[in-house]
């Protein structure tokens, strides 16, 4: 049997490991090896493998035999390569000892720097650098870090000594202490160390190293590391590796320096070398912002040789890693070292631009390009953002739910009427309300954005705002509204005051921060075209269509047009009730609601028919050639009647009925739990004439449009089915009306009739329901409400606390609960297709625009997702990524 190898060396242009050995060497160790092999000047060192960690824990915290010898051998090799020795009195080698597992666990495990310093070596460092302050500060830091991290001496012990020294000298900053001060502190640290541990601070660098290696392996199982792995579902790792690497310093003097650079501009994505650096500084100085770093171009003038080396290395690294690199470098006494490279974080526009450019440069494939942009980054491209300059300095006033993305600036108004009045005067307004109701639609339409103090992600305000593409912050509990005032903490804002909201983050700011509107580039369309190619070529087992379609939820022709421009391939949900909120429509509908008998109801409905038909025609024309799913009336009737006595009286006047009678009628509509009440197909059962009118309007509109030569594919959707018998009856009713219209119009239009699956019972009995359905559309908003027993209007009182206490991983109205609700969907898909193998299925709940939910829908073999117009591009990308992620 071959002897197990425990330690892997890297340095001088070659390494024993490489990037593929992450599992054995950890991410950090593997990448240091990889860079070394590439000829990148990485400070040399060696990695103790994760197998040692595994053995250490399996063998009661004892190291495998042979490790010690390998360690010494590698150390010797390192000293030879560096021409320095640990603890040397003239030119000591200093090393860092760092953790590094196969999965990233930032900050969870231990790190020790400057190892190798002792009372002799510190003098060697003084000699070598000619900088006693630097040397003593490094020694001080090492004792503190070693004492605390490797030996468990309380942090306070050292901090207290440091603070006392500063107090004694009456200074505030560590930098105000000189070499002599630091030397004294080192003495005090050593005493404190001895007092705390009953042993002297070890002068033997090998002992220092051994204890540090112990500490890093020990930190693998510290509570926060265990918690982190559990939370992030990191499993089946052997343990951490330990990286021992020679230290380099950017603060050795004026010939030294440190910096960060990017292979392309991470803000714009442009292929321009971008970065910042500081001479005679440590990495933390660049980040801390005390000194102003210099642009990387300056280095070209300052030290052309180093600059050219850096350009050479960054080009090599980007080419090797095939993505924008974020590179840390240090110049030590005129010599360039690369400390780290990683894929750069970037803005949405940058992500798209770089992905498209790199694919065009043939650096990556189209598919890789599609994988390089997150759906959230696409979202950034579609909405105005707060001016980043002003945002930096602005303080967040309050934080609510990020209910509809994009930022908005406007003057506060507290009613929809005021919103409309101010808008007429050309004012930009922001509508602020406890919650909105359908009567506020007019005001919402003219407002720049909406802020509500109650309600969740699927409250009226949130849903309507998303539909309109208007920014919205909902359920912002810190905001308390009374009359014409809005209070946040102890600040009061009145009508007309300026505020700024960011619907992408849920933040609310005081004043007008100004907006910037990202431009939609041709890069984005190229990018989405590539995504669509992947999405539409997806092959799924047992599916009729290969592709995975993205539709939109749109209620009006204008919305349909927007969505189509964004790439929607049909309408998955057209809510007919929103069409009743026009002034004339509403009064006719109210007349229908309060009608005393069938004849009166039919008369009122006949007034509505032409309005509905006109809307449907507009939508069919906008979506010509694409399917349009139209949902018949869903909300309970009481949503359409006045709530206050004054409004009731007004309506009575308009309708010419007795106000008291009207009030009794309206009171009779009241429900304890409207969500679970007389709505959806239940209205279709008790008032068949309503659905009859709607079907007549749909099929009538389809015929008229078809006669013009426009291809129409109406899909009539019956909501809230709980038993197959409801669908059986209502489908028969609808067919009878549709056939009558077709006969009268003497036109052939192919229409289908399907149902929403949004009641748990419908999912459970999907095999029965499927017999009467041409399609299923999962209404995951209501399905989530009923599966969880959560009213989306009321969850604000406990769901935020649930998420905080980790009782819920996320808001189930934002991202589909795959365990519970998803189980019902999977069951319904299986049961439905067991009866009708080619049953078309899609999702039309709010989840249709959420990337994780879209992936679930793909895996659940749904034919399509449908989301609000402004999320269509996001869904197109998420769908393509789902296809890629699920290739077997």
Would you please indicate which residues are annotated as catalytic (active-site) residues?
Answer: 460, 844
Instruction: Report residue 515 as tokens.
Output: 């907006």
Closest CB 589 distance from a second copy, rounded Å: 18
Q: How far apart (Å, rounded) are the C-alpha atoms in residues 408 and 372?
A: 29
Q: How far apart (Å, rounded) are the C-alpha atoms in residues 473 and 404?
A: 7
Residues 188-227 that bind a second copy (CB under 8 A): none
Rule CB under 8 A: choose which of 14, 744, 797, 886 binds a second copy. Answer: 797
DSSP 8-state symbol, 888: -
Residue 821 interacts with a second copy (CB under 8 A)?
Answer: yes
Rule CB under 8 A: choose which of 64, 438, 442, 674 binds a second copy. Answer: 674
Q: How far apart (Å, rounded) are the C-alpha atoms in residues 328 and 263?
A: 11
Closest CB 649 distance from a second copy, rounded Å: 20
In terms of Cα–Cα distance, which of 559, 533, 538, 560 is closest to 548? Answer: 538
The beta-carbon contacts of 815-818 under 8 Å, at least 24 apart in sequence, are: 815/847, 815/850, 815/852, 815/853, 816/780, 816/784, 816/845, 816/847, 816/850, 816/852, 816/853, 816/856, 817/784, 817/787, 817/788, 818/852, 818/856
Instruction: Report residue 116 as tokens.
Output: 């190798």
Residue 672 interacts with a second copy (CB under 8 A)?
Answer: yes
CB 72 within 8 A of CB 233: no
CB 754 within 8 A of CB 573: no
Residue 808 interacts with a second copy (CB under 8 A)?
Answer: yes
Q: How far apart (Å, rounded) are the C-alpha atoms in residues 700 and 284?
A: 70
Rule CB under 8 A: choose which of 4, 333, 791, 815 binds a second copy. Answer: 791
Question: Of how many residues is the chain composed?
Answer: 888
Residue 685 interacts with a second copy (CB under 8 A)?
Answer: yes
Residue 272 interacts with a second copy (CB under 8 A)?
Answer: no
CA–centroid distance for 171 within its chain: 45
Closest CB 761 distance from a second copy, rounded Å: 4
Residues 526-555 that bind a second copy (CB under 8 A): none
Strand partners, 479: 488
Instruction: Report residue 813 as tokens.
Output: 């109205």
Q: How far apart (Å, rounded) are the C-alpha atoms in residues 548 and 534?
A: 10
Place of tokens 């949503």: 639
Residue 446 interacts with a second copy (CB under 8 A)?
Answer: no
Rule CB under 8 A: choose which of 673, 709, 743, 887 binds a second copy. Answer: 673
Stretch touching a second copy by CB under 8 A, among 117-125, 226-234, 387-395, 672-680: 672-680
Nearer to a second copy, 315 or 437 (CB): 437
Nearer to a second copy, 615 or 817 (CB): 817
Rule CB under 8 A: choose which of 60, 233, 236, 819 binds a second copy. Answer: 819
Nearer to a second copy, 797 or 886 (CB): 797
Stretch touching a second copy by CB under 8 A, among 230-238, 594-602, 753-761, 871-879: 753-761
Stretch touching a second copy by CB under 8 A, among 149-157, 221-229, 722-730, 748-756: 722-730
Nearer to a second copy, 695 or 808 (CB): 808
At residue 499, what are phi and psi to the nearest 5 degrees? Answer: -140, 165
Rule CB under 8 A: choose which of 807, 810, 838, 885 binds a second copy. Answer: 807
Residue 303 interacts with a second copy (CB under 8 A)?
Answer: no
* Side-chain-facing half-sphere of 75: CA atoms under 13 Å: 20
Residue 663 interacts with a second copy (CB under 8 A)?
Answer: no
Q: What are the start-end ranges of the H helices in 130-271?
A: 132-145, 155-169, 179-197, 205-219, 223-231
Place of tokens 């299923």: 776
Instruction: Write the Ramachandran bin of 455: left for phi over 0, alpha for psi from -120 to 50, otherwise beta.
Output: left
# residues near a second copy by CB under 8 A: 49
3-state secondary structure of 398: strand
Measured at the CA of 10, the angle between CA 101 and CA 87, to 5 degrees, comes to 95
Residue 720 interacts with a second copy (CB under 8 A)?
Answer: yes
Residue 726 interacts with a second copy (CB under 8 A)?
Answer: yes
| Non-local CB neighbours of 106 within 8 Å, separated by 6+ positions | none
Closest CB 675 distance from a second copy, rounded Å: 4
Residue 704 interacts with a second copy (CB under 8 A)?
Answer: no
Rule CB under 8 A: choose which of 172, 173, 583, 806 binds a second copy. Answer: 806
Closest CB 726 distance from a second copy, rounded Å: 6
CB 865 within 8 A of CB 845: no
**Strand-strand pairing, 507-510 and 335-343:** unpaired
Nearer to a second copy, 479 or 786 (CB): 786
Closest CB 508 distance from a second copy, rounded Å: 20
Place of tokens 């990889």: 34
Nearer to a second copy, 514 or 674 (CB): 674
Nearer to a second copy, 51 or 768 (CB): 768
Q: How far apart (Å, rounded) are the C-alpha atoms in residues 99 and 110?
A: 6
In terms of Cα–Cα distance, which of 194, 56, 179, 190 is closest to 118? Answer: 190
| Non-local CB neighbours of 507 within 8 Å, separated by 6+ positions | 396, 397, 398, 399, 473, 501
In terms of Cα–Cα distance, which of 222, 232, 501 is closest to 385? Answer: 501
**Strand-strand pairing, 775-778 and 840-843:** parallel
Residue 801 interacts with a second copy (CB under 8 A)?
Answer: yes
Closest CB 791 distance from a second copy, rounded Å: 4
Q: Which helix (H) or strand (E) holds 702?
A: helix 688-707
Closest CB 801 distance from a second copy, rounded Å: 6
Nearer to a second copy, 105 or 481 (CB): 481
Nearer to a second copy, 128 or 434 (CB): 434
Residue 682 interacts with a second copy (CB under 8 A)?
Answer: yes
Residues 152-191 that bind a second copy (CB under 8 A): none
Nearer to a second copy, 507 or 782 (CB): 782
Residue 597 interacts with a second copy (CB under 8 A)?
Answer: no
Rule CB under 8 A: choose which of 785, 818, 853, 866 binds a second copy. Answer: 785
- Convert residues 727-746 into a mask of x (bound to a second copy by CB under 8 A) and - (unbound): --x-----------------
Nearer to a second copy, 122 or 641 (CB): 641
Nearer to a second copy, 438 or 820 (CB): 820
Residue 798 interacts with a second copy (CB under 8 A)?
Answer: yes
Closest CB 767 distance from a second copy, rounded Å: 10
- Convert residues 824-843 into a mask of x (bound to a second copy by CB under 8 A) and - (unbound): x-------------------
Closest CB 485 distance from a second copy, rounded Å: 14
Q: How far apart (Å, rounded) are the C-alpha atoms in residues 568 and 562?
A: 9
Rule CB under 8 A: choose which of 335, 376, 387, 793 binds a second copy. Answer: 793
Residue 788 interacts with a second copy (CB under 8 A)?
Answer: yes
Residue 691 interacts with a second copy (CB under 8 A)?
Answer: no
Using CA atoms, how far residue 372 sits from 106, 351, 379, in Å, is 22, 7, 14
Kindly tell me the burial class for residue 829, based on how many C-beta atoms sit within 10 Å of its own C-beta (0-12, 13-18, 19 or more).
buried
| Non-local CB neighbours of 6 within 8 Å, separated by 6+ positions | 48, 49, 51, 52, 64, 66, 67, 70, 71
- Convert residues 755-784 into a mask of x (bound to a second copy by CB under 8 A) and - (unbound): ---xxxx--xx--x-------------x--
Closest CB 866 distance from a second copy, rounded Å: 21
Strand partners, 330: 258, 337
Nearer to a second copy, 120 or 798 (CB): 798
Binding site residues, a second copy, CB under 8 A: 671-678, 682, 685-686, 720, 722-723, 725-726, 729, 758-761, 764-765, 768, 782, 785-791, 793-795, 797-798, 801-802, 805-808, 817, 819-821, 823-824
């Amino acid at each position: 049997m071959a002897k197990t190898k425990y330690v892997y060396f890297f340095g001088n242009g070659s390494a024993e490991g490489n990037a593929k050995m992450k599992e054995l060497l950890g991410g950090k160790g593997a990448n240091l090896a990889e860079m070394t092999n590439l000829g990148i000047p990485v400070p040399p060192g060696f990695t103790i493998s994760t197998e040692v960690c595994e053995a250490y824990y399996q063998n009661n915290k004892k190291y495998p035999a042979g490790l010690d010898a390998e360690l010494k051998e590698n150390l010797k090799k390192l000293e030879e390569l560096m021409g320095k020795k640990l603890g040397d009195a003239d030119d000591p080698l200093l090393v860092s000892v760092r953790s590094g597992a196969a999965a990233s666990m930032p900050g969870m495990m231990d790190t020790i720097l400057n190892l190798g310093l002792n009372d002799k070596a510190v003098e060697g460092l003084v000699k070598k650098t000619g900088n006693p302050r630097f040397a003593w500060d490094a020694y001080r830091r090492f004792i503190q870090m070693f004492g605390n991290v490797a030996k468990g001496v309380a942090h306070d012990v050292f901090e207290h000594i440091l603070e006392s020294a500063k107090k004694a000298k009456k200074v505030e900053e560590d930098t105000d202490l000189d070499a002599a001060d630091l030397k004294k502190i080192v003495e005090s640290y050593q005493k404190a160390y001895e007092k705390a541990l009953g042993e002297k601070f070890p002068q033997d660098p090998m002992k220092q190293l051994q204890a540090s290696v112990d500490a890093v392996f020990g930190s693998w199982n510290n509570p926060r590391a265990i918690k982190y792995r559990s939370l992030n579902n990191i499993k089946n790792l052997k343990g951490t590796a330990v990286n021992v690497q020679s230290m380099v310093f950017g603060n050795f003097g004026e010939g030294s320096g440190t910096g960060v650079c990017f292979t392309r501009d991470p803000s714009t994505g442009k292929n321009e070398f971008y970065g910042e650096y500081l001479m005679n500084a440590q990495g933390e100085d660049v980040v801390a912002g005390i000194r102003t770093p210099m642009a990387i171009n300056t280095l070209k003038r300052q030290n052309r040789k180093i600059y050219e080396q850096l350009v050479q290395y960054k080009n090599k690294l980007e080419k090797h890693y095939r993505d924008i690199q974020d590179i840390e470098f240090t110049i030590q006494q005129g010599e360039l070292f690369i400390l780290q490279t990683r894929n750069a974080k970037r803005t949405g526009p940058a992500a798209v631009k770089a992905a498209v450019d790199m694919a065009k440069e043939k650096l990556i494939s189209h598919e890789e390009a599609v994988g390089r942009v997150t759906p959230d980054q696409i979202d950034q491209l579609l909405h105005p953002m707060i001016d980043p300059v002003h945002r930096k300095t602005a303080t967040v006033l309050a934080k609510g739910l990020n209910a509809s993305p994009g930022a908005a600036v406007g003057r506060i108004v507290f009613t929809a009427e005021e919103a409309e009045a101010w808008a007429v005067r050309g004012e930009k307004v922001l509508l602020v309300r406890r919650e909105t109701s359908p009567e506020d639609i007019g005001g919402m339409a003219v407002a720049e954005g909406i802020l509500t103090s109650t309600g969740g992600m699927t409250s009226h305000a949130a849903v309507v705002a998303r539909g309109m593409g208007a920014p919205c912050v909902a359920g912002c509990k810190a905001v308390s509204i009374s009359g014409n005032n809005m209070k946040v903490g102890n600040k009061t804002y009145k009508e007309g005051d300026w505020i700024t909201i960011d619907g992408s983050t849920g933040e609310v700011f005081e004043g007008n921060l100004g907006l910037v509107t990202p431009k939609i580039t041709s890069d984005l369309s190229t990018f989405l075209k590539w995504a669509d190619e992947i999405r539409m070529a997806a092959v799924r087992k047992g599916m009729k269509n290969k592709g995975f379609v993205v539709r939109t939820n749109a209620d009006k022709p204008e919305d349909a047009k927007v969505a189509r421009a964004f790439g929607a391939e049909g309408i998955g949900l057209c809510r007919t009730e929103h069409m009743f909120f026009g002034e004339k429509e509403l009064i006719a509908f109210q007349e229908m609601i309060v009608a005393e008998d069938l004849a009166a109801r039919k008369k009122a409905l006949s007034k509505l028919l032409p309005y509905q038909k006109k809307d449907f025609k507009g939508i069919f024309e906008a979506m010509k050639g694409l399917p349009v799913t139209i949902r018949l009336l869903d909300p309970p009737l009481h949503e359409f009647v006045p709530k206050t006595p004054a409004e009731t009286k007004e309506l009575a006047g308009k309708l010419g009925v007795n106000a008291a009678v009207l009030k009794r009628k309206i009171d009779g509509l009241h429900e304890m739990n409207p969500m679970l009440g007389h709505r959806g197909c239940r209205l279709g059962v008790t008032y068949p004439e309503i659905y009859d009118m709607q079907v007549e309007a749909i099929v009538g509109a389809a015929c008229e449009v078809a006669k013009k030569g426009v291809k129409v594919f109406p899909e009539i959707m019956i909501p809230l089915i709980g038993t197959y018998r409801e669908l059986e009856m209502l489908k028969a009713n609808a067919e009878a009306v549709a056939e009558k219209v077709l006969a009268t119009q003497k036109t052939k239009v192919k229409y289908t009739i399907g149902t929403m699956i949004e009641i748990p019972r419908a999912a459970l009995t999907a095999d029965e329901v499927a017999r009467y359905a041409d399609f299923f559309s999962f209404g995951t908003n209501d399905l989530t409400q009923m599966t969880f027993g959560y009213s989306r209007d009321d969850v604000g009182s406990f769901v935020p606390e649930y998420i905080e206490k980790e009782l819920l991983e996320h808001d189930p109205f934002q991202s589909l609960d795959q365990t519970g609700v998803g189980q019902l969907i999977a069951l319904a898909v299986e049961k439905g297709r067991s009866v009708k193998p080619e049953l078309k299925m899609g999702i039309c709940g709010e989840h249709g625009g959420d990337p994780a939910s879209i992936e679930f829908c793909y895996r659940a073999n749904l034919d399509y997702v449908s989301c609000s117009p402004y999320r269509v591009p996001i869904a197109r990308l998420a769908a393509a990524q789902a296809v890629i992620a699920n290739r077997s």
